[in-house]
Amino acid sequence: MALPSFFKINKNRQFNFIPRYYDPQKENLEKRIKSIEQEMGVKEGEAYRPTIRKGQMSNYFNRKKGKAQKQSNIRLIIILLVLFLISYFLFFY
């Protein structure tokens, strides 16, 4: 009969990863093809064209701040109207 030990030290876990589908010859061939295409100037598809234009983000934060301010004002007006209606019904009915 074994007694449980409070000072038992567990063994370290080991990680053994073996890639399943790795072909070093194919990898080298693809690297060589890419480097040769870059040297010769062969393009794959169209050239990169950025979608963000200059100045597009310049007023983003100001617009966002203005929108939040407008929503806050509308919310305040609605709360004041509700409080006014409640006080009107409490005092005059």
What are the domain boundaries of the chain? 66-93
Mean pLDDT of the chain: 80
Q: Provide the pLDDT confidence category of residue 43 given band limits of 50, 70 and 90.
A: low
State residue 26 phi and psi, 5-degree precision.
-65, -40
Of the given ranges (44-48, 52-56, 57-61, 69-73), which has the lowest mean pLDDT?
44-48
CA distances for 76 relative to 48, 53, 73, 84, 89, angstroms: 48, 37, 5, 12, 20
pLDDT above 70: percentage of residues in the chain? 75
- Residue 24 pLDDT exceeds 60: yes
